[in-house]
Structure 1
Amino acid sequence: MTRPIALITGGSRGLGRSAAVHLCRQGVDVIITYLSRQEDAESLVTELEAAGGKAAALQLDAGNVSSFEQFALELGDRLKTVWGRDRFDFLVNNAGIGINAAFDETSEKQFDTLVNLHLKGTFFLTQRLLPMIADGGRILNVSSGLARFCLPGYAAYGAMKGAVEVLTRYLAKELGPRGIAVNVIAPGAIETDFGGGAVRDNADVNAFVAGNTAMGRAGRPDDIGQAVASILTGQSQWMTAQRIEVSGGMLL
């Protein structure tokens, strides 16, 4: 039986890495992208191959639209040489960064960085890769709990993620005729190096998150990786245009 193939942007670390590992465990081959952490990406490829899957890593600046054409060519070549295919099944738009700045101190440069990566990049990378996504495939965009609840310093970031959630519904509407389900996952606060690692490394921040989460702790990468694998490989093809928050019940 042919194994499905997932493309995960920003897959060399954090949530993307966990998603790749859990997808592999569910019988999915994985292509990850990385910006600068080539060694981490190649290490993950080795790990996935040792677990019995096929994997590949490609460099991508997910905030640079002008690079998408060359990336698509490289992706097509890798699909052909490794899998003998010209299409993949699952796209996870995960690449992102966090910028914490008060609304009145947020610079235009910071704003544009977030727009280019989280919104513009997601929009145009998905657009460019559409011919390479198999009919009946799935797209999963990544939002944030910060699109629902508000914490000081995340006005720009939360706004980008809110836009991604609206974009998800439009994609679901327009891609439905091809049988492509499009959903968005919204993680809560997770113990990774994201945003400088505050949730993972700052005891006060971690305690704040735990104290405001129904499940009583901050999230861990595997909480999200397992959810991604479940959404993409589960019997839920009829579910589309949905926002699935995986936050342990943060700030209910």
Structure 2
Amino acid sequence: MRRTTVAAVEALGGTAVALPLDTGRLETFPDFVAQVDRALSDTWRTGTLTGLVNNAGLSRSAPVTETTEAVFDELLDALFKGPYFLTQALLPRLADGGAIVNVGSTSAHPGGISSGYSVYGAAKGAVEVWTRYLAKELGPRGIRVNSVAPGPTRTRLGDDGFDRYPELVAPLAASTALGRIGEGADVGRVIAFLLSEGGSWITGEDVTASGGFGL
């Protein structure tokens, strides 16, 4: 998957380096940051980042009454604690005037509540609130921070869940104003906009990118 992503970026004329990271394993962050430093220096001849996208993905389904402490910790570590402390570690390398985009979920919104995803939704809700605090604290450096909340989107989450269970697609599409579930590129374009000069006067916001899911 990493090689495929790098190849896709290069085919568009860009430059990419893929570095593996498990956001649920905070003990690996120092080595990862060192790899980032080397990649910035060796590939881009710089020591700074202009943007950061926190897009950690992990999903487990269980009713509140059946959620174990292990599942709770796994989700919170990967979806919130990990991005929180990874951002903290990378902030000295983020250029003033840069941008951060945190990927949340409509699972944290009233219209996106689905039984069995209380921990996932709560973690994504924490990401949304954290985004506003980051925007406030990093404003003096000119760093913009926003979150994006996708609705049902075809990704690799849940072990390619929509490909494995195609029967789930139709009812979700029927609940979406634009008549289909999202694709990765739909959300990616919103993220790219928020990172770009076009989003230069937007910070502290949660942008729903769901095609009108739940309307």
- Tell me the TM-score normalized by structure 2: 0.95
Corresponding residue of 1:192: 155
Corresponding residue of 1:227: 190
Q: Is the 8 A contact 2:104 2:147 kept in 1?
A: yes
More helix by share: 2
Mapping of 1:33-52 within 5 angstroms?
40-52=1-13
Distance 1:177 1:47 in 2: 36
Aligned partner of 1:103: which letter?
A: V
Corresponding residue of 1:207: 170
Distance 1:169 1:60 in 2: 25
Corresponding residue of 2:132: 169
Number of residue equivalences: 213
Report the secondary structure of 1:161's partner residue. Answer: helix
Aligned partner of 1:64: which letter?
A: R
Aligned partner of 1:66: which letter?
A: E
Instruction: Give how far 1:100 is off.
Output: 1.2
**Structure 2 residue ranges without an equivalent (≥5):** none
Corresponding residue of 2:123: 160
Corresponding residue of 2:62: 101
- The runs of at least 4 aligned residues of structure 1 exceeding 2 Å deviation read 196-204
Aligned partner of 2:149: which letter?
A: A
Mapping of 1:27-66 within 5 angstroms?
40-66=1-27
Quick check: 1:240 aligned with 2:203?
yes
Distance 1:196 1:43 in 2: 17
Mapping of 1:112-191 within 5 angstroms?
112-148=73-109, 149-191=112-154
Worse-superposed segment, 126-135 or 93-102: 93-102
Instruction: Give how far 1:192 is off.
Output: 2.4
Quick check: 1:217 aligned with 2:190?
no
Corresponding residue of 1:15: none
Distance 1:201 1:43 in 2: 21
Identity of aligned residues (%): 44
From the superposition, tell whether residues 216 and 199 of structure 1 become closer, same or farther in structure 2 (CA, over 3 Å).
Answer: same
Corresponding residue of 1:81: 42
Report the secondary structure of 1:167's partner residue. Answer: helix
- Tell me the TM-score normalized by structure 1: 0.81
The CA deviation string for residues 217-250 of structure 1, in whole angstroms up to 9 with x for no partner, is: 1111111112111221242212100000101111
Instruction: Give how far 1:103 is off.
Output: 1.3
Distance 1:106 1:172 in 2: 32
From the superposition, tell whether residues 50 and 199 of structure 1 become closer, same or farther in structure 2 (CA, over 3 Å).
Answer: closer
Aligned CA-pair RMSD: 1.3
**Structure 1 residue ranges without an equivalent (≥5):** 1-39
